[in-house]
A and B are shown apart, each in its own frame.
Chain A
């Protein structure tokens, strides 16, 4: 248990569906992250939030829409996805958005395995 939970753990959706992934951290952290991990590819950072403000968006298609209503919760809203969006989606949190000269461990959730049909 890392203190970061994700629901659902598995999700199958059609290309016309709308669904949301949820992440919750119980660590009192101020920064939260969404990563995507496709088969046989490195983890790719998608979004970074600091104190509920999005501070980074790594050229992610608009069919992925993040939401951070408070520092403990992070959502990823999905709509009109493509089969190539099938992947493991990981949420992480850290005490704060990384700064230089700071050690800042990230705590990862177990991920949501998404399959788009």
Chain B
């Protein structure tokens, strides 16, 4: 298996622009997670899906963030409009409970 796949790996955008991050989980994993990692706040869970259904989005910072999972093999995290404080590494992971497998991450820089 190729593991969790994320795209793009790097994204540089200007404040106010829309950003869409993409994720393909490991086949057969029913749960998908979006995390954000920064030096200041560490690794934070933003939202997770179980069987394509959003279960807990309490970590989503604000309404500018939205996530979808239209099918078992694809999820998106969208930021609109983006702000400089959104600059971080965004990880997608799939797995179950304490055993999660992370993708390589998307390093987002908002200028």
* Interaction A to B: no
